[in-house]
Amino acid sequence: MGAVVMSGATLQFRAGLRRRPHKYLLCSIAICSALAARSVDGAWAADWPGAAPVLRGTVSPGYVRWDGWQAGIQAGFGNMNADFGNSTGSLVAFILRNSTLESEGRPSSWTTLPSNTTTGPVFGGFVGYNWQWSELVVGWDLAYKRPSSLNSSTGDSLRRLFDTSDSVRHDVTIDAQTSFKLVDYATLRGRAGYAFGEFLPYAFLGAAVGRFNYQTNVSVTDTMTNLAVAPPVPGDLGTFQQSASAGQKNVYVAGLATGLGIDWAITPGVFLRAEWEYALFGPVNGTRSNTNTGFVGLGARF
């Protein structure tokens, strides 16, 4: 009796398989999928709220990650403004030292040479590091730039009449020539930016160190007239003339650098850069200078 019942149940089960195979197939797939999910994510009862990627916050943000190390190369075009107004002062003061003319008239403070501007290409490279909090990006970079032809030269003469307290009229002429070259410079800058999609606009401020070469030549001619006699005879006290020069190579001067830029991530590890930089340097032999440079660059993130 029991064997007949068992045999009938077996026949009934096999008949069910033939009549409803799709139901059992679907159940098998569901069980296998659940087991696979359990093996990857752990116990599903505990992890169910985070099982969907959207719920777990894995959707990509609307901006690129910029944190980490970066390095690249730059090329640009800029100008150097050189103010030579005080470049002859020390030489003129040396020529006229211990004289009444210098102590009262101060020819060393006269503006003999004008300002001058020169332009040319600039090349360089940079390395830096970024930290990122959401869209806010801050960092630093160290850069080296070498101008191709930011060198300036000018020459001029200045003539003035000056009467000193000893009744002497001085007809003074100062002739001067100077050359000035920015060899290269380096910057250490702090940066702050805000990420928008693949773009990172930023501003920066930092220190700069420039290396300069210069050469200045000055000649002072003083034709003296005695005003105590009547009528005064121009040049009756004679003419004084003396020259001096000063020059030096590889003069290092500190300065400041500031500007704006934007990075564009063209791949997860490569970006393009466009940048404007203003650098102001301290005086070199009385000559003050600054640069305005526009750069384009190619960088990589690590």
CA distance 197 to 61: 9
Q: How many domains does the chain have?
A: 2
Mean pLDDT of the 197-210 span: 97
Q: Is 117 found in the same domain as 83?
A: yes
**CA–CA distances in Å: residue 243 to residues 89, 94, 214:** 13, 10, 17
Higher pLDDT pick, 9 / 140: 140
Statement to judge: residues 117 and 220 lie in one domain: yes
Using CA atoms, how far apart are residues 102 and 123, in angstroms rounded to an integer?
45
- What pLDDT score does 61 carry? 63
Q: Domain span at residue 259?
A: 68-301
Please list, residue by residue across 196-220, b when 16 or more beta carbons sit within 10 angstroms of its beta carbon and e when fewer do: eeeebebebebebbbbbbbbbbbbb
111 and 19 belong to one structural domain = no
| 128 and 225 share one domain | yes
pTM of the model: 0.76
Q: How many residues does the chain have?
A: 302
**CA distance linking residue 265 with residue 132, whole number of Å:** 15
Residue 54 has pLDDT above 60, yes or no: no
Whether 46 and 72 map to the same domain: the answer is no
What's the DSSP call for residue 63? B
pLDDT in tens, 224-274: 999 999 888 999 999 999 999 999 999 999 999 999 999 999 999 999 999
Average pLDDT over residues 46-68: 55
Q: Establish if 56 belongs to a structural domain.
A: no
Q: Report d(CA 257, CA 155) in Å as an integer.
A: 29
Distance, CA of 272 to chain centre: 15
Identity (one letter) of the amino acid at 15? Answer: A
* pLDDT for residue 53: 39
Assess if residue 57 is contained within a domain. Answer: no
Shared-domain flag, residues 40 and 97: no
> Does an H or E element contain 35, and which?
helix 21-41
pLDDT band of residue 198 (cuts 50, 70, 90) is very high
pLDDT in tens, 3-35: 444 444 443 444 444 444 444 444 444 444 443
Q: What is the pLDDT of residue 209?
A: 98
CA dist 192 and 258 (Å) reads 12
Same domain, 137 and 75: yes
The answer on 112 and 9 residing in a single domain is no
Distance CA 123, CA 183 (A): 12
Sign of the dihedral defined by the CA atoms of residues 155, 160, 162, 168, in that order: positive
Burial class, 47, CB count within 10 angstroms (exposed 0-12 / middle 13-18 / buried 19+)? middle
CATH of the domain at 114: 2.40.160.20
45 and 123 assigned to the same domain: no
The verdict on 104 and 236 lying in the same domain is yes
